[in-house]
């Protein structure tokens, strides 16, 4: 447990350009959350689940980061900024992963047993992203900010969008994604509604004409 916490601190030193000293790193809420998780997980695997939950809930109140003590997390996890991060009970996270604020490793409510995702090594999950379901995100994968991932993500790939799709794999683009000229789904729906209303109005007018002739 202590060895993993040392790895967590060293990872922040190596990957966070804002970290200037070990003393400063010790103030990071992301580090606090992971350290509390490692303690609570020890109690969890030793069947002291109430104590484990008390520790995890205290950490949640202190940091704004919720990590279930039953989750399995490798060494060197970096939670950057952190507020709003949620990691579910059956989630598994490999070594040296990076999670940004507001991301969720959760379930869909449809599964039993294994309900949450498995992240490989060196995976990045962007701010606000949702990874939902019992599937695997491969090593070195990147999940873009605010993406909603509902299916497996291959290793060395990048997933973008809602629902997420693979736009890059092994350094090569798999599709062209225009993130500037994205159609507005609300505007499209309103346009379709107006078309349907126009058709109905035309049909009503035709029926009124038929009714007037019969009179």
The per-residue pLDDT for range 68-83, each reduced to its tens digit, is 999 999 988 999 888 8
Of the given ranges (138-152, 162-176, 181-195), which has the lowest mean pLDDT?
Answer: 181-195
- Predicted pLDDT at 210: 81
Contacts of 168 (CB under 8 A, 6+ apart): 157, 158, 174
Helices (H), the chain: 2-15, 22-25, 29-45, 49-63, 185-214
User: Counting Cβ atoms within 10 Å, is residue 183 exposed (0-12), middle (13-18) or buried (19+)?
Assistant: exposed
- Predicted pLDDT at 177: 52
The per-residue pLDDT for range 17-71, each reduced to its tens digit, is 888 888 888 888 889 999 999 999 999 999 999 999 999 999 999 999 999 999 9
Count each helix (H run) and each strand (E run) in the chain, helices first.
Answer: 5, 16
Q: Distance between CA atoms of 58 and 74, rounded to whole angstroms?
A: 22
Q: What is the CATH number of domain 2-173?
A: 2.160.10.10
- Predicted pLDDT at 19: 82
CA 76 from chain centre, in angstroms, equals 18
């Amino acid at each position: 447990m202590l060895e993993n916490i040392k790895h967590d601190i060293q990872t922040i030193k190596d990957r966070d350009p804002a970290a200037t000293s070990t003393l400063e790193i010790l103030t990071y809420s992301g580090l606090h959350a992971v350290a509390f998780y490692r303690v609570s997980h020890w109690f969890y695997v030793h069947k002291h689940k109430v104590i484990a939950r008390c520790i995890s809930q205290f950490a949640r109140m202190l940091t704004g980061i919720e990590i279930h003590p039953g989750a399995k997390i490798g060494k060197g996890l970096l939670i950057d900024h952190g507020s709003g991060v949620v990691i579910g009970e059956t989630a598994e996270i490999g070594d040296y992963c990076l999670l940004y604020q507001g991301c969720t490793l959760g379930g869909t409510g449809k599964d039993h047993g294994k309900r949450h995702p498995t992240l490989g090594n060196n995976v990045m999950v962007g701010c606000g992203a949702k990874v939902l379901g019992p599937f695997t995100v491969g090593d070195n994968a990147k999940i873009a900010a605010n993406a909603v991932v509902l299916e497996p993500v291959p290793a060395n790939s990048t997933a973008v969008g809602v629902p997420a799709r693979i736009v890059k794999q092994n350094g090569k683009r798999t599709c062209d994604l225009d993130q500037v000229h994205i159609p507005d789904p609300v505007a499209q729906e309103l346009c379709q509604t107006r078309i349907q209303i126009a058709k109905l109005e035309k049909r009503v007018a035709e029926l009124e004409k038929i009714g007037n002739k019969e009179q």
